[in-house]
Amino acid sequence: MTATDLAATDTPGTFQPAWWLPGRHAQTIYPSLFRQPPEPPLTPETFTLRDGDWLRLAWGPPGEGLAVIGHGLGGHTGSAYVRGVVAELARRGIGSVIMQSRGAGDEPNRHRRSYHAAAWDDLEEVVTALAQRNPQQPLAVVGFSLSGSMLLNWLAERGDAPVARAVAVSVPFELDRCADALEQGFARVYQAYLLRRLRVMAARKFAERSDAPVPAERIRRIRRLREFDDLLTAPLHGFRDSADYYQRASCRQRLGAIRQSTTILHAVDDPFVPETTIPESAELGPGVTLELQPSGGHVGFVTGRTPSRPDYWLDTRIADVLEPALRTAPSPGT
């Protein structure tokens, strides 16, 4: 069965794109540039990791259960798509916390390393610690884009993760082919956008350090994501080069090992992810449901009747998937 066939059959929550945002690029660009981030009250926490480094947590309003939400490459606690999920969960009386990966955001972390698609050790440490803080509280994890890949890798490697439900959104299933896709045609705009953020992050980290893998001037001249991964991601995280990183960190090869209840939300027309890299149903583990939509772009999925009142389908769909697993008591009226 092809990805297109799956998109026509495996859609329990059907997405209807806004008529005024036709096509993959409009769906991808509009929320990135024009969505006003929701402003749920967030309480910051500095989470100290076992190796002496740290990352930032941002707690949403308390409620039943807890959803840990991870951002994509270049994202942070202020990203509109993560705040949108926090706001929707809070509206339903469900708790959440945003996990900002080490090295992300405005303040450099202590160590040379940062985050990448296979850096599930930090995710495991955070989830384990939160489960220990409140053993009776059901936990879920949501990962967008690169964090979705991190999440799926972790679930495959750790068969007994303390997670009641997981959701991965717009996942780069094969990193090498996604990197190639971002060098073709209009998608080069996305590559340039990501690299601007990554170069700033790397320059800030190594501005006052003497152990940068390459000089600051070389970082400023990086123009390809593959080049960034060759010069920085790979040497900082124990990979031989970008090809080694892409091969070892891609999640598609591990999906069959996932046993926990996991939903993957994805659009066939995702401009970051070639359709041929979307896994077939036979590749999925017994816990995995792949919900494919024909359209939606990359972390897009914008609906709504008019441009003045856009709706963000991912917020409600993610909450719909998580709510039954996180509620410890029946909802009023049920």
Q: How does pLDDT run across 94-126, given as a tens digit for each residue?
A: 999 999 999 999 999 999 999 999 999 999 999
Query: What's residue 2's pLDDT?
Result: 53
Residues identified as active-site:
145, 270, 298
Strands 311-312 and 302-303: antiparallel
Query: What's residue 12's pLDDT?
Result: 57
Query: What's residue 160's pLDDT?
Result: 87
* Whole-number Cα distances in Å, 93 to 9, 65, 86, 110: 32, 9, 10, 36
Query: What's residue 84's pLDDT?
Result: 98
Tokens standing for 334? 């049920």
* Whole-number Cα distances in Å, 74 to 70, 116, 313: 11, 11, 22
Question: Quick check: 44 pLDDT over 70?
Answer: yes
- Of the chain, the percentage scoring pLDDT greater than 70 comes to 94
Query: What's residue 208's pLDDT?
Result: 81
Question: Quick check: 43 pLDDT over 60?
Answer: yes
> For 30-54, what is the mean pLDDT?
96
Q: What is the mean pLDDT of the chain?
A: 94
> For 124-144, what is the mean pLDDT?
97
Query: What's residue 159's pLDDT?
Result: 85
Question: Quick check: 216 pLDDT over 80?
Answer: yes
Question: Quick check: 332 pLDDT over 70?
Answer: no
Distance CA 79, CA 93 (A): 21
pLDDT in tens, 199-215: 999 999 998 888 999 99
Catalogue all structural domains in the chain, each as residue range(s) with its CATH number: 3-174+250-326 (3.40.50.1820), 179-249 (no CATH)
Q: What is the DSSP letter of 65?
A: E
Strand partners, 288: 262
Question: Quick check: 271 pLDDT over 60?
Answer: yes
